[in-house]
């Protein structure tokens, strides 16, 4: 029988990262997104560990139980990729399969781009890889979506931080329910746009009930982890968005490079990411960015929280992909 999930802390690049771990075998590293934590992978640990893999999910830099650097500039993609490489080596491994969801997906894709010698294979859920020169800094998203677009709104120091930290249970209920594939209301998915004079939370209503895939105990788990940072619970996570301009500049040198390791992409057809400008052109061309793309899997009726909403389908896709990798033994 596979042992239960165990928790610990690892020093990586001068920061303390919390990690959850289960199983033995080839390393599979699971990277969460915003606003989540290791707990967003709760449905993946058991099946992957039972199949013979060592499954590790960190709270990424600035999130949940992990350390939150003060410097806003400490949250660039090169920093985050450095954490992934440092964590793999701190765990005593030389290589790993890296899986990311939401913000974790760009970290996974970029780690595979930078270090194909370390990344055996890469999986992205929700967010596809974007060519480095096509990464949209706030100056561009402001022109396309307006001042109220959530990524632009997040640039204002302290504003979204205070809103999201004010009532943690309400924040997680609202944010997670609003991105769910079975949310009521709008037929088509769309990103958050905050009207002039409104706040972020004004645009995210309190759900009448939680989606079927989300329980009150799940909300409590996220709240417990984030509460450790007090009124700065969301400052670290929001600082990832505050480096979009830097990321665009730092990754320009990699324009034209492809991701040359085996890859899998999974997305829900009700994920707001699919409604972003240019996705109708990007998604059909993923094979150009990833010559070893195994598959693009679209989950009908699934929203943004891919592995939480559709754990069985995601686990099946992950295991089939892993089974096809020749060097995982």
Look-up of token digits 């707001």 = 272
pLDDT averaged over every residue in the chain: 93
Q: What is the DSSP track for 236-266?
A: HHHHHHTTHHHHHHHTGGGTT----S-EEEE
In this model, does residue 61 exceed pLDDT 80?
A: yes
pLDDT: is 21 or 183 the higher one?
21
Nearest to 141 by CA among 104, 193, 71: 193
In this model, does residue 131 exceed pLDDT 90?
A: no
| Phi, then psi, of 77 in degrees rounded to 5 | -60, -40
* Confidence at residue 254, expressed as pLDDT on a 0 to 100 scale: 92
* Confidence at residue 1, expressed as pLDDT on a 0 to 100 scale: 42
* Confidence at residue 145, expressed as pLDDT on a 0 to 100 scale: 80
pLDDT average, residue stretch 191-216:
93
- Tell me: the pLDDT tens digits for 69-119? 999 999 999 999 999 999 999 999 999 999 999 999 999 999 999 999 999
Q: How confident is the model at residue 136 (pLDDT cuts 50, 70, 90)?
A: low
* Confidence at residue 144, expressed as pLDDT on a 0 to 100 scale: 76
* Confidence at residue 329, expressed as pLDDT on a 0 to 100 scale: 56
Comparing 49-63, 194-208, 214-228, 295-309, which segment has the lowest mean pLDDT?
194-208
Select which of 18, 32, 229, 304 is catalytic: 304
Contact by Cβ (8 Å): 311, 44: yes
Q: Under 8 Å CB-to-CB from 187, ≥6 apart: which residues?
A: none
Q: Is 79 a catalytic residue?
A: no
Was domain 6-323 assigned CATH 3.40.50.1820? yes
Contact by Cβ (8 Å): 296, 286: yes
Select which of 32, 83, 101, 102 is catalytic: 102
* Confidence at residue 134, expressed as pLDDT on a 0 to 100 scale: 54
d(CA 295, CA 286): 10
* Confidence at residue 135, expressed as pLDDT on a 0 to 100 scale: 60
Q: Is 102 a catalytic residue?
A: yes
pLDDT average, residue stretch 162-176:
97
pLDDT average, residue stretch 148-174:
95
* Confidence at residue 239, expressed as pLDDT on a 0 to 100 scale: 98
- Tell me: the pLDDT tens digits for 171-199? 999 999 999 998 766 556 788 899 999 99
Q: What is the DSSP track for 46-99?
A: HHHHHTT-EEEEEPPTTSTTS---S-GGGGSHHHHHHHHHHHHHHTT-S-EEEE
């Amino acid at each position: 029988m596979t042992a239960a999930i165990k928790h610990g802390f690892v020093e990586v690049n001068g920061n303390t990262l919390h990690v959850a771990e289960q199983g033995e075998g080839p390393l599979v590293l699971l990277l969460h997104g915003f606003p989540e934590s290791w707990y967003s992978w709760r449905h993946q640990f058991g099946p992957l560990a039972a199949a013979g893999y060592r499954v590790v999910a960190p709270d990424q830099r600035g999130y949940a139980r992990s350390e939150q650097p003060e410097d806003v500039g400490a949250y660039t993609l090169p920093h985050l990729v450095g954490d992934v490489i440092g964590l793999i080596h701190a765990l005593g491994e030389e290589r790993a399969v890296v899986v990311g969801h939401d913000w974790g997906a760009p970290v996974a894709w970029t780690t595979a781009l930078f270090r194909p010698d370390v990344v055996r294979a890469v999986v992205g859920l929700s967010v596809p890889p974007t060519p480095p020169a096509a990464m949209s800094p706030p100056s561009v998203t402001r022109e396309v979506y307006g001042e109220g677009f959530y990524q632009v709104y997040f640039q204002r120091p302290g504003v979204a931080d205070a809103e999201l930290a004010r009532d943690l249970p309400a924040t997680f209920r609202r944010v997670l329910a609003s991105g769910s594939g079975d949310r009521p209301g709008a037929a088509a998915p769309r990103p958050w746009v905050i009207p002039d004079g409104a706040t972020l939370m004004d645009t995210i209503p309190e759900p009448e009930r939680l989606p079927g895939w989300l329980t009150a105990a799940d909300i409590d788990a996220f709240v417990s982890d984030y509460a450790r940072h007090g009124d700065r619970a969301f400052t670290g996570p929001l600082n990832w968005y505050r480096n979009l301009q830097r990321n665009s500049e730092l990754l320009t040198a990699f324009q034209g490079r492809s991701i040359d390791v085996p890859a899998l992409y999974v997305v829900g057809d009700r994920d707001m990411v699919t409604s972003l400008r240019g996705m109708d052109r990007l998604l059909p061309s993923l094979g150009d960015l990833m010559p070893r793309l195994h598959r693009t899997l679209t989950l009908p009726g699934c929203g943004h929280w891919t592995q939480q909403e559709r754990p069985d389908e995601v686990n099946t896709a992950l295991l089939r992909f892993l089974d096809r990798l020749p060097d995982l033994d």
